[in-house]
Chain A
Amino acid sequence: MELVAIFVTAILINNFVLRYFLGICPFLGVSKKIDSAISMGLAVTFVMTITAAVSWVINHWILIPLKLDYLQIVSFILVIASLVQLVEMFIRKISPPLYEALGIYLPLITTNCAIFFLALMASLRDYSFLESVIFGVGSGLGFTLAIILMAAIREQLDLADVPEALKGAGIALIVAGIMALAFLGFSGMIK
């Protein structure tokens, strides 16, 4: 039950993008088309899941026994950077068009604060290994959900009559704000 609560909370209630405003960069950058938004979401989910697992292992097996907690930040960044490299190689191998579409945002996952926040949060909240992984999957799916919704809205927006001054990033930020308000509605779901 605890696991389900963590999972649902990560996706809906404490959605990284819409509640904590983390990972806004790819959220706005790659949300012009649903296809690339899905891929970006899945890439982030993958990186988050593996990061959650690996950073837990490093934290609990290496850093805490050696009393090197203060190295958490550096070692988590190491984990994230390596994983992003891996994902980048993988995507480039299996789908060059997707690699082109994701562009600069793919290596930028490295500096995506959402993933770093995930690793730090899992350690702060003292999650067990399983909880960490569930937390990672949930957060990744939450990001994916948010970016896909955003892309769907923005695809419709292309056809809409948007005032000149608000075209592009302006209307996108307004949409993101309204989505964040809507997601606040989930906040009472799990106590």
Chain B
Amino acid sequence: MEVLWSVITMGALGFLFSFGLVIAYRKLRVHEDPKIEKVAEILPQANCGACGYAGCRAFAEAVVKGETTPNGCPVGDADVVKQIAETLGVSAAEVVKKVARLHCRGTHEAAKNRGVYIGISTCGAAHLIGGNKQCSYGCLHFGDCARTCPFDAIYMSEEGLPIVIEDKCTACGKCVEACPRNLFELHPVSQGIIVFCRSKDRGPVSRKVCKNACIACGICSRACPEAIVIENNLAIITDYKKIDPEKIPEVEKCPTDSIGRLKKEDEG
């Protein structure tokens, strides 16, 4: 009999408390998106803050809220980005994918050398002494960007320019920082037209040093005045969204090929 009483008492007490806890849980439950936990687990847990958020967890919260994109983590490799995108239920393609684009077409052939450079073969070193090219704005061809790319998305072509492999590029921005001449910029992958030159030299000068330099002739800006202007001897696209696709052939009449769509050889 006593055994029965003790069992009943303990059972009743246990039931009572668990009932109380269930009610409390209903009221006090923290409505945290379970995705945050999942995304946080995928992240490298380096808590380096390179993404601009206070650690991996804060980044995970921001991604789930949609404040940033899955590829915002510079440390995580392509696999991490893919996993996050899957967790969030967006395929990696739905996220506005950006890629790094080089704003220069000064290949070995097009851009003339200033002399023979026999120094340390990095862009950073070459840039210090003004570079090996006559053009003081263009690509130096030593591939600092390719070496710095954590995803192996950049390689140096035979013409001497870095080629970005779109599929591998996560738009982490390392190459943008690495290039001493700031030739890289992140663009949405679908971006139609890009100016492939950064030279601010006057037309005759830039024409002399590089075949593919912008000579500020103004053909493109006349074709599409609402989006393209000539400033400091250089064509500048002020608003990519305003470019009318029908006007692209007009714009591409550029005599030096320094503005236009990507060509086959520019793509990886």
Partners in one complex: yes
On A, residues with C-beta under 8 Å from B are 58, 62-63, 66-68, 71, 74-75, 78-79, 82, 85-86, 89-90, 92-93, 96
Q: Which residues of A contact B14 (CB under 8 A)?
A: 78
Give chain B residues whose Cβ lies under 8 Å from the Cβ of A62.
9, 13
- SS of B interface (majority): helix
Complex Cα distance A82/B20, Å? 9
Q: Is the CB of B28 within 8 A of A90?
A: yes
A-B contact count (CB 8 A): 44
B28 contacts A79, C-beta separation under 8 Å: no
**In the assembly, what is the distance between CA of A68 and CA of B6, in Å?**
7
Q: Which of B2, B5, B9, B17 contacts A82 (CB 8 A)?
A: B17
Decide yes or no: A89 and B24 within 8 Å by CB, A68-B6, A71-B6 being known contacts: yes
Contacts of B6 in A (CB 8 A): 68, 71
Distance of B60 from chain A, by nearest CB (Å): 14
CB distance from A114 to the nearest CB of B (A): 21
B: residues with CB less than 8 A from A are 2, 5-6, 9-10, 13-14, 17-18, 20-21, 24-25, 28-30
Identify which of B13, B24, B25 contacts A75 (C-beta below 8 A).
B13
CB pair A66–B10 under 8 Å, yes or no, is no
A75 to B11, CA, bound (A): 10
Contacts of A58 in B (CB 8 A): 13
Q: List 20 A-B contacts (CB under 8 A).
A: A58-B13, A66-B5, A66-B9, A68-B5, A68-B6, A71-B6, A75-B9, A75-B13, A78-B17, A79-B17, A82-B20, A82-B21, A86-B20, A90-B24, A90-B28, A92-B28, A92-B30, A93-B28, A93-B30, A96-B30
CB distance from B27 to the nearest CB of A (A): 9
Q: Which of B9, B18, B29 contacts A68 (CB 8 A)?
A: B9
Quick check: A89 and B28 within 8 Å, CB to CB? yes
A123 to B38: give the CA distance in the assembly, Å.
47
Q: Flag if B5 contacts A85 (CB, 8 Å).
A: no
A82 to B14, CA, bound (A): 9
Q: What's the least CB distance linking B22 to chain A, in Å? A: 11
Beyond A66-B5, A85-B24, A86-B20, list 15 extra A-B contacts (CB 8 Å): A58-B13, A66-B9, A67-B2, A75-B13, A78-B13, A79-B17, A82-B18, A82-B20, A86-B21, A86-B24, A89-B28, A92-B30, A93-B28, A93-B29, A96-B30
* Chain A residues within 8 Å of B29, by CB: 89, 93
List the 6 closest A-B pairs by CB distance, nearest first: A82-B17, A89-B28, A93-B28, A86-B24, A68-B6, A92-B30
Alpha-carbon separation in the docked complex, A74 to B9 (Å): 11
With both beta carbons as reference points, the residue of chain B lying nearest to A81 in the complex is identified as B17
